[in-house]
Amino acid sequence: MIEFERVSRRFGDQDALRNLSLTIEQGEMAFLTGHSGAGKSTLLRLLLLLDRPSSGDIRVNGEPTSKIRSRMVPRYRRRFGVVFQDHRLLFDRSVHDNVALPLVMAGFSPTDTARRVRAALDKVGLLYHEQANPAVLSGGEQQRVGIARAVVARPEFLIADEPTGNLDPQLSSEIMSLFEAFNQVGVTVLVATHDLPLISRLRHRIITLHEGRLAGVTAQ
């Protein structure tokens, strides 16, 4: 469970988030939307401890993130898989090696790493591209590699920041179906997106921010 309790984040004289209280239930899939500058990216940065609130607190499975000291942040972040709009793949490495990065950094054995990477690529339908360079893949395939990398360590939470922003409607729908598949096996999924026509067709909660405040929650 993720809980934001009266969270604010101020930059100079500007409030990126204002007194936000919000709960994402364990095992839920939810969408976070709002205009550019509404606070979506700030919320995700605070959740991942890339930034800290100016006031209020965030609890993850009951643990206040304010109690997490700097040296413990890397361990905390291993609970999250993160998918970005721009993929952030390394084009001097194979698809396999891109997906393996989180496991290598966490100290997994080569045997376990290879097994997990193949399982993650199979899940996103790209096992046959395991040894390819990501540069030869389509935009949708590159995003699938990013998703495989995000889930390869089997995180509790999957966070996506505008994951379909550069994709056409069909590919966007396919990517959302992948997120739903991971959610169905117990992963808590939070997707920040502008794609209202797509997410309004899906049966998940829509959380709307406006100027840093909670503007509404639509139950699906």
pTM score: 0.92
Residue whose entry in the numeric block shows the structure tokens 């700097």: 70
Q: One-letter amino acid identity for 107?
A: G
Is the pLDDT reported for residue 166 higher than 80? no
Q: 68-115, pLDDT tens digit by residue? A: 999 999 999 999 999 987 878 999 999 999 999 999 988 999 999 999
Is the pLDDT reported for residue 220 higher than 80? no
Residue 8: is it exposed, middle or buried by C-beta count within 10 angstroms (0-12/13-18/19+)?
A: middle
Cβ-Cβ contacts under 8 Å for 72 (sequence gap 6 or more): none
Contact between residue 189 and residue 30 where contact means Cβ atoms under 8 Å apart: yes
Task: Assign 145 to helix, strand or coil.
Answer: helix
Cβ-Cβ contacts under 8 Å for 2 (sequence gap 6 or more): 22, 23, 24, 47, 58, 59, 60, 157, 188, 190
Assigned token pair, 24:
């994402």
